[in-house]
Amino acid sequence: MSHDHQDMSKMDMHDMDMDMGGGQMMHMGNLKRKFWVSLVLTLPIILMSPMMGMQLPFQVIFHPWSDYLVAVLGTVTFIYGGQPFFSGAKAELANRKPAMMTLIAMGIGVAFVYSIYAVIANNVLHVTPQVTDFFWELATLIDIMLLGHWIEMDTVMNAGSAVDNLAKLLPSTAHKVVNGETKDVAISALTADDHVQVRAGEKIPADGVIVSGATSVNEAMVTGEARLVEKQVDAKVVGGSVNGEGTFEMRITGTGEDGYLAQVMKLVSDAQAAKSEQENMADRVAGLLFYAALTVAIVAFIVWLLIGNLALAMSIAVTVLVIACPHALGLAVPLVVARSTGLAASHGLLIRNRDAMEQVKKLNYALMDKTGTLTAGNFKVAEYQSLDPQYTADQVLSIMAGLENGSSHPLAVGILKAAKDQQLTTVDPVDVHQITGAGLSGTVDGLAYQVVSAAYLDRQHLAYDQATFDRLASAGNSVSFLVQDQQVLGYAAQGDQIKPESKHLIDSLKAQHITPVMLTGDNAQSAQVVAQQLGITEVHASLLPEDKAKLVKQYQADGSHVMMIGDGVNDAPSLASAEIGVAIGSGTDVAIDSADVVLVKSNPNDVVNFLELARNTTRKMTQNLWWGAGYNVITIPLAAGILAPWGFLLNPMVGAVVMALSTIIVAINAMTLRLKH
């Protein structure tokens, strides 16, 4: 594992950037510092500003200098704390898409200029009646907006806590093999093709391939599979998993960005860059408010200038623009996202793509793999026999185990365990390679053998004992056949167990009017046994990986929205094609490249938690956006004087209080986000 890994695992807030709108980036440390400095400056501004027309004690104490002190503190807050918003607004206007940053910049800019005018008018020109300044609103708006962006960025960092925990799995040193001798070095010093020794009970320091020795590896903390996986020469191992009782030597293959943990950590930065539909909605709402406030302010200024005077017209126009500032709107989404991310992490959910949560309300079908998703994937050989008089049953099993040696596929693990239990001597094959979606082939003693499924035999038109296959498959077994020179030599039948949580998953999907569909490369009889026990009526068996992706697109062809649930091994194409791709366990390739959501605990019930969390999160975001925008819909017309003919003109301080209450409501509403399970 290279130095890159270590740097990522030790990343602090000063090293992280965030998008401040329009592609403008800002360091997380700077954002945090700006918030705290602005907050400290805001406190005396509040204490020395008139509240609802009343003079506060600090205003009296510092009189007649209180207005000047507030102006100085307000100016510093405006320049220092408001800088990110003006940078963001500049970018938004350059893109001709005014949104949140532009609305904030307009509000604090107008508030600042008018407030400076108010200080001069009240203390130098001594105009009557006195002009109300907006330093109080300006400072609090800057604070709340900085806080909202800080929360959002902090949420992204917290979303990576599970990834940080993975990084902690790595040891600090490794036993590097140099000229036949081991030397302890820091894992940051390892590079590709280095050889390291991993001893019994130690953590594997990096991704690699075993070059000598054999062992069993606990990959539960990395893949979610709570079982030991047998590893032989040429088998791949993942950094962070725990070695069993054997000692082996491995060649490093994954360093820096190529390593598994580095790729998982990349999910954090990907999540940071992704903006969900609801967040875009917040920007769209802010953009509409910008145009609405500007239009209303101009109209109000003209009307009040005609029926009143310049001072009154200016005061009302400024009040409209200041009140339009989205205090609550700025926190509406970040607070919900923060709460949602925390709940997801505590329930074993790593959400890679926030857009996936938006798709839940449209779902019609949940397509899912059988082995490893609905079943445990812990196969056990129930029966093995020879179908050729030249081979004994043990010879069949021995050859099959030899070919499967080094493979981590659940069926391979079952065959290897059976051969080990029978104390059979396994053969040493050469030129072993995968037959996509069907099995594998290799050469033993100069003869080419294949370990394949019944579907492969059917496609190749090879004869086999159909009655025996039907008997085994109807009992729920997966049957692997040994073939040599187009002749079926024997078979091994393995049974799997349905995960206890799978039934609840299927029932929950049906209750939500989402149709469960089973997709499997296994035989139809075995698939039907599992489907009947779980209550699944739509089953597609004997599928190749590309067949699953085609089925996803077939369901989508009629306008349906699809969620694909797979074990992250052979389901990459279908996970990528579906509106929502859910990986059961962190399969090294699929979970990173294809899935939108990773179920860290490999528990099917976590799909139910994801669906509930997604719906609740979307609802809370929508509620908060309504609260944030609803405040403006009501107060902007009031500030413009729409009720003035009836003697009511909104006092800016009353608007500020309503604004504060709206912000509090948004915060409380976000914190009430819950998961029942």
Coil, strand or helix at 62: coil
Token pair, residue 83, equals 């800088």
Contact 586, 335 (CB under 8 A): no
Helices (H), 124-185: 135-159, 161-168
Q: Is 542 left (phi over 0), alpha (psi -120 to 50) or beta?
A: left
Burial (Cβ within 10 Å: 0-12, 13-18, ≥19) of residue 144: buried
d(CA 622, CA 279): 10
Q: Which residues contact 670 (CB under 8 A, 6 or more apart)?
A: 331, 332, 335, 336, 338, 339, 620, 624
Closest Cα partner for 363 from 157, 73, 582, 546?
A: 582
The residue behind tokens 């109807």 is 474
Q: Is 369 a catalytic residue?
A: yes
Q: What are the C-alpha distances in Å from 456 to residues 415, 431, 453?
A: 19, 20, 5
CB 629 within 8 A of CB 289: yes
| 389 CB-near residues (< 8 Å, 6+ apart) | none
Nearest to 616, CA basis, from 360, 275, 365, 366: 360
From the candidates 133, 154, 369, 522, give the one annotated as an active-site residue: 369
Lookup result for tokens 């040429």: 234
Q: Which residues contact 144 (CB under 8 A, 6 or more apart)?
A: 327, 330, 331, 663
The amino acid present at 172, given as its one-letter code, is S
- Kindly list the distances between the CA atom of residue 288 and the CA atoms of 105, 634, 637, in Å, as whole numbers in the listed order: 15, 15, 15
What single letter denotes the amino acid at residue 626?
W
Cβ atoms 221, 169 nearer than 8 A? yes
- Name 366's bridge partners: 516, 563
Nearest to 42 by CA among 662, 660, 666: 660
Cα dihedral angle (156, 162, 166, 167), rounded to 10 degrees? 30
Q: Mark out the alpha helices in 535-604 (DSSP H runs).
A: 545-557, 572-577, 590-593
**From the centroid of its chain, how far is CA 665?**
27
**Which of 352-372 are b and which e, b meaning 16 or more Cβ less than 10 Å from the residue's Cβ?**
bbbbbbbbbeebbbbbbbbbb
Q: In what order do the strands lie in the sheet with 380-386?
A: 380-386, 487-495, 477-484, 447-452, 439-444, 430-435
φ, ψ at 201 (rounded to 5°): 80, -5
The C-alpha atoms of residue 250 and residue 439 are separated, in whole angstroms, by: 26
The pair of three-digit structure tokens given for residue 482, joined into one six-digit string = 């040994």
- 3-class SS of residue 216: strand
**Cβ–Cβ < 8 Å for 368, 536:** no
- Distance, in Å, from the CA atom of 185 to the CA atom of 565, rounded to the nearest integer, reads 41
Give which of 560, 601, 562, 556 is closest to 583, Cα–Cα.
Answer: 601
Angle (deg, nearest 10), helices 100-123 and 135-159: 150
Judging by DSSP bridges, how do beta strands 380-386 and 215-218 pair with one another? Answer: unpaired
For the annotated catalytic residues, the residue numbers are 369
